[in-house]
Structure formats: C-alpha cells, structure tokens
Amino acid sequence: MKEIRYVRAITEALDEEIARDEKVFLIGEDIGRGEGIFNTHRGLLAKYGDKRVKDTPISESAFMGLALGAAMAGLRPVVDILFMDFLTVCMDPLINHIAKARYMFGGQYTMPITITASTGAGLGAGPHHSQCLEAWFAHIPGLKVVMPSTPYDVKGLLKSAIRDDNPVLFLYDKTIIAVKGEIPEEEYLVPLGKADIKREGTDVTVVAVSKMVTQALMAADKLAAEGISIEVIDPRTISPLDMETIISSVKKTSKLVIVHEAVKKFGIGAEIAATVVEEAMDYLDAPIKRVGAPFTPVPISPPEEKAYIPSADQIIEAVKEIAS
C-alpha cells in the first residue's frame, strides 16, 4: 500500500488508462498546459502529447459534442468540465444524445465517454461554481453517476468508468482533493454500482454521499462515545445505486439517516428513502431522516457558506432524534 492524495489518485487513474489503451484521450479547458484547474492532469501533456491531452476552447457544448462523435467512431474520450455547474451549458449533447445514443441506435454503437467534474461548496466560489446537481443526472436513463469519497475509491472507480462502454459522470469533491489515503501499489479496479460500508454499526444506518462520508465518520466517533453505534454506508455510485447493501443494513439497524451536500429537497436522499419504504418498511422502527443543504443557491459569504454545508453536528442531531 502507499499513501496518496485524492487529486493524485485522479491523475494516476488517467495516466494508467491512457497508457493502457490507445483509444483513450483527454479533452477539456486548461487540462494541457494548465494541467487542470485543480492540478488533476499534472504532467500528462508532457508525457503523452497534445494528441492524447487536448486543450479546448471555452465551449463546453462543442467539445461535449466532439466526445459524442469520437465515441461513435470507436474512441474513448475523457471530458473534463472543471465545475459541475458548467454541465448546464452542454445539456443537449449530454442528455439528449450521449445518454440515449446506444438506445436510439439499438446497440450498434457503444458510448464510452467519461465526464469528470468537480462539485461542492466550501471554497467561497459562489452559486455558479459550487453546486451538487447529481440528482439531475441520476434521473436520466443511460447515464451512470459516480461520487467517490476516498483516494482508494477515486482511482478504482475512475479506471472502471473509463473502461465502461456507457457514459459515466465522475464527480469529485473539490474541497477534499488534498485528503490523503492508502491505495494498493498494484493496479486495481472498484466496480461501479457497489456501495461500501465505511464503518460497521448496530443502532442506526447512515448513508452518506461524497465528502459527507467524512462528516458521517466524524459523527460516528462522537456518537460512539455516547454509546450509539452507527453504520456508515458510502454508495460510491449514485446510479446505478446499490440498494441491496443499504436495505441489508437497514434490516439490521431498523433506523436510517441519509446525508448529502445537495439541497435536501428532491435529492438522492428522497430516492433512497422511498425505495427503503417500498422494500423494507416493516423493518423500520423510526421515521427516516434526511440531512442536506437548505433550498437556496450556494452563498458566497464564508459564514453563510459554512452554515449551508451539512455538518457532523447535524448528522448527530438527526441520529439522536431516532436512536432512542
């Protein structure tokens, strides 16, 4: 095992997949000479040249369309969209074409496109560079949505995404890119659609998404000191969603809290809660609780932004409401 930062796990995955498969190439704004806005593409242009690492104009819709054509021609593009918010300007090629192409052409084409983008608030970037919009894209048949929380999951899931023959939206949280974690020295993959139990517990199941996993684990440490044992589940892949692991945990604990940074209303937490009620309602001993951001644009003011982002204390409060 070796220790690596979250951001370097992204770089290593891209590096290994470009080297492994000559059909893989990278496109995006400032990923070449700029090496990515968060340094995610460090050293890749120098190593592979501009045929494999291509800087683009500031026109997300245009180069998302380029990726569509490249995939139909047999290549495997990895598209960097900097901030998830910018996906809103290329919804037509992504939603109306990339997500539907295999279906529309009866499987005559594969669509091996991986789209990387940063999510989340916490850097004072304001409402146009801080959103968590994963629920939008998880709602679209044909798209897979991945949100890793650790360096181990980042590298393994990104490599799996690039090898997948379907379009995958790979969302990394910009505020935890410096976090360190252990990964194997040798090559490994993490399968899409499989959740991970980050901490086992017996009293309450907490399903946490992306950087909220860290907050959930902090909450678990504090609650353990008070005699409350929580099980922390990281879905890792939002779509397809591993409900089997979540429901199995709920059957054990009989209580459920769901936490994500996206606004609570109409979020992925609602989908998880609804599915648990449909499939395991008889096992619940308390109402399901959701923890999420308030229904407002992301504030740019530092104290308001801090209050906006869900915290370990909010998770603790939700757990205590149903733990007794």
Which residues have a catalytic role annotated? 60, 129
Give the other-Cβ count within 10 Å of 48's Cβ: 18
Query: Cis peptide before 240, with omega less than 30 degrees from 0?
Result: yes
- Tell me phi and psi for residue 61, to 5 degrees: -65, -40
Q: Are 261 and 292 in contact (CB under 8 A)?
A: yes
Going by C-alpha positions, the residue among 43, 5, 18 that lies closest to residue 152 is 5
Cα 300 to Cα 122, 144, 284, distances in angstroms? 9, 30, 39
Strand partners, 118: 83, 172
Crossing angle of helices 312-323 and 212-224, in 10° steps, is: 50
Rounded distance between C-alpha atoms, residue 317 and residue 261, angstroms: 16
Rounded distance between C-alpha atoms, residue 33 and residue 29, angstroms: 10
Give the contacts of 170 (CB within 8 A, at least 6 positions apart): 114, 115, 116, 117, 146, 148, 157, 158, 161
The DSSP call for residue 43 is: T
**Beta strand pairing status for 24-28 and 76-83?**
parallel
Give the contacts of 187 (CB within 8 A, at least 6 positions apart): 16, 159
Q: Are 217 and 188 in contact (CB under 8 A)?
A: no
End-to-end C-alpha distance for the chain, whole angstroms:
40
Strand partners, 77: 25
Give the other-Cβ count within 10 Å of 178's Cβ: 10
